Amino acid sequence: MAPLHLRLFGPLRAHCPETGSETVFSGRTAELLAYLGLFRSRRHARVRLAGVLWADLTDRNARRCLSTTLWRLRSDLEAMLPAGAAVFHAGRHEVAFHPGTAVQLDVAAFEEATLPVAAGTPPATLEAAAAVERVAGGVP
């Protein structure tokens, strides 16, 4: 499966290196994608997602908004990927990234690159410090 790169630093963008496609997301679509991306290894209850993103609406309207936003998000992402690639498993009660979708997050790369700093150990070399800077700037 083609990897899907999500950039949460700055405007939320999704990029598929295999096809060269990139899409910028905003609003609730971006919020849903960011939430699913940050917790990409989990299955999410629809009722919880609807409650988190549309807390000001009735349950029924919140679920309807979630379905519409999920449809829009799936359509946009699948248009970026190679033909036939699935992004989400969206059942009646749960939503999750499809097991075959390799999701890479800039936030996760940044956390990994800065683990030594977070542990109180500064980067040992200028190359290591430059790697942290590159990840923070979105450069692979």
* Digit-coded pLDDT (tens) for 70-89: 999 999 998 998 888 878 88
pLDDT digits (tens, 9 = 90+) for 33-51: 999 999 988 999 999 999 9
Q: State the first-to-last Cα distance of the chain, in angstroms, to the nearest integer.
A: 20
Three-state DSSP class for 56? coil
pTM of the model: 0.81
Instruction: Kindly report, residue by residue over 92-112, the tens digit of the pLDDT.
Output: 899 998 877 788 888 888 888
Instruction: In whole angstroms, give the CA distance from residue 31 to residue 29.
Output: 5
DSSP state of 23: E
Q: Is the pLDDT of residue 139 over 60?
A: no
Distances (CA, A) of 38 to 6, 85, 98, 120: 10, 21, 15, 25
Q: What pairs with residue 4 in β-bridges?
A: 103
Buried b (16+ CB within 10 A) or exposed e, 9-29: eeebbbbbeeeebebebeebb
Residue 24 predicted with pLDDT over 90: yes
Residue % of the chain over a pLDDT of 70:
87
Decide: helix, strand or coil at residue 119. coil
Q: Would you say 32 and 73 are in contact if contact means Cβ atoms under 8 Å apart? A: yes
